[in-house]
């Protein structure tokens, strides 16, 4: 108990500046350049207030740069959200491994992906990974050279969307607003969708509460194996 608490404190001290950014998207066999069609910040810090409008597509204190690009995505295929410590980092510098927690992905259908701020209703969760067999989903991404593989549902409508990829680090989450949430929004145009389903949508901010069991948790003093509850709404799947 005492040792793990010390390790936890050391982990949060030593990883204070080793955050992460969703910097690149791969789709249809092409990996686009850093910040291409993604609203990236120059600083890699987290959002920690789950009621902030900047929970949607990041923003102050990590101001983001707009992009006038849109990436084509075929429904029913996988895209690759690529995470790096900074905009300049390589595949061996994804995020400090002391950052452990879930990964998630959301879509929001929009009229103009280049300009829609993403704030408010319209979001549905298309991917979630938490803690299983002793491994956090963030470790899976780090060990996969920063690649978060996201399946795009085949049954959704065609058109422009914001793709919000997210990683949450829980090393400081034993106190309220201690979880570090990392997210960026990619601007995509989906084709090949059947449009057979209309996903139930949710608001960002609004999907998380500071006291959610998946955001307010002492991961170092919770006995393994434990059941980690991934935050946010139920994941959408095609019928």
Binding site for Cu ion (CB under 5 A): 19
Quote the least distance from Cβ 95 to Cu ion, whole Å: 7
Quote the least distance from Cβ 15 to Cu ion, whole Å: 6
Nearest residue to Cu ion, scored by beta-carbon proximity: 19
User: Which CB sits closer to Cu ion, 19 or 39?
Assistant: 19
Q: Is the dihedral of CA 219, 179, 206, 186 positive or negative?
A: negative
User: Which CB sits closer to Cu ion, 19 or 100?
Assistant: 19
User: Which CB sits closer to Cu ion, 16 or 206?
Assistant: 16
User: Which CB sits closer to Cu ion, 19 or 125?
Assistant: 19
Quote the least distance from Cβ 169 to Cu ion, whole Å: 5
The whole-angstrom separation of Cα 55 and Cα 226 is: 27
Quote the least distance from Cβ 172 to Cu ion, whole Å: 9
106: β partners: 125, 164
Quote the least distance from Cβ 20 to Cu ion, whole Å: 7
User: Which CB sits closer to Cu ion, 178 or 233?
Assistant: 178
């Amino acid at each position: 108990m005492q040792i793990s608490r010390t390790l936890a404190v050391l982990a949060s001290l030593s990883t204070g500046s080793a955050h992460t950014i969703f910097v690149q998207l791969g789709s249809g066999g092409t990996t686009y350049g850093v910040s291409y069609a993604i609203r990236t910040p120059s600083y890699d810090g987290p959002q920690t207030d789950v009621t902030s409008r900047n929970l949607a597509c990041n923003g102050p204190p990590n101001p983001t740069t707009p992009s006038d690009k849109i990436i084509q995505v075929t429904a029913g295929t996988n895209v690759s959200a690529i995470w790096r410590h900074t905009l300049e980092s390589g595949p061996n510098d994804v995020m400090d491994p002391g950052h452990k927690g879930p990964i998630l992905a959301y879509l929001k259908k929009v009229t103009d992906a280049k300009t829609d701020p993403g704030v408010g209703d319209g979001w549905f969760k298309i991917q979630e990974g938490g803690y299983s067999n002793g491994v956090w989903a963030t470790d899976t991404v780090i060990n996969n050279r920063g690649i978060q593989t996201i399946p795009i549902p085949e049954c959704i409508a065609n058109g422009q969307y914001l793709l919000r990829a997210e990683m949450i680090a829980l090393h400081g989450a034993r106190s309220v607003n201690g979880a570090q949430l990392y997210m960026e929004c990619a601007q995509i145009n989906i084709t090949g969708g059947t449009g057979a389903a209309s996903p139930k949508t949710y608001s960002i901010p609004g999907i998380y509460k500071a006291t959610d069991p998946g955001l307010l948790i002492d991961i170092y003093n919770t006995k393994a194996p434990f059941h980690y509850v991934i935050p946010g709404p139920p994941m959408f799947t095609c019928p």
